Amino acid sequence: MFFAEEVIVDSSMSFSEAVEGSAAPEEIILQLSLVDVLYYSFDGRKHQGQMLVHREVEDDVYDLFNFIEKVLFPVGKAVPIVAYQWNDHRSMADNNSSSFNYRVIEGTATLSLHALGKAVDINPLQNPVVYPNGVIAPDGARYDPAARGTFTAEHPVVQEFLRRGWHWGGRFDPLKDYHHFEKP
């Protein structure tokens, strides 16, 4: 007998809940879309989360997460960053995959593509930022290309992002931002 697979809901916010308290100007908020995504997490079970993204990348993100689900790539969770009081460090420390966050690029005054919803971070604990001086963020993260949920240049998920015109932070120089994808 076949039973439908139970889906664990990691996030089921309304759009207004997902943008509540954001410092973003209204013209940016009006360009965002809340996308429900399915993925298998590290517990081996199917989960449903949400990504808050720019409308221009909505279809890509939906299709990319369908690909992620199909290839059984584990995703820690996908919850809009409002659940972390708009704090990127808290979100990363919880291995949360996210997109929109109205903020600047760390250490600069330049708006990040996250501020427009045109960047996606996936599994920051498996795919950390590695700075040229050897510092790794978030705390406790470790980049091990052989570990589940980790990206490499040859990984099918990375290749699918690249095929769709996204840039991967694992190719950035001098730092490596392994969890980061962006579509300029």
- Classify residue 1: in a domain, yes or no: no
- Residue 3 clears pLDDT 60, i.e. is over it: no
- Burial code of 126-156, b = ≥16 C-beta within 10 A, e = fewer? bbbbbeeeeeebbeebebeeeeebbbeeebe
- Classify residue 156: in a domain, yes or no: yes
- Classify residue 2: in a domain, yes or no: no
Q: Are 78 and 71 in contact (CB under 8 A)?
A: no
What pTM does this model have?
0.94
| Backbone phi, psi, residue 159, to 5° | -60, -35
- Distance (Å, rounded) from C-alpha 81 to C-alpha 62? 18
- Classify residue 146: in a domain, yes or no: yes
Q: pLDDT digits over 150-179, tens only?
A: 999 999 999 999 999 999 999 999 999 999
Q: pLDDT digits over 8-58, tens only?
A: 999 999 999 999 999 999 999 999 999 999 999 999 999 999 999 999 999
Question: Considering its fold, how many domains does the chain have in total?
Answer: 1
- Distance (Å, rounded) from C-alpha 96 to C-alpha 19? 17
- Classify residue 88: in a domain, yes or no: yes
Q: pLDDT digits over 73-116, tens only?
A: 999 999 999 999 999 999 999 999 999 999 988 888 899 999 99
- Classify residue 3: in a domain, yes or no: no
Domain that holds residue 79: 8-182
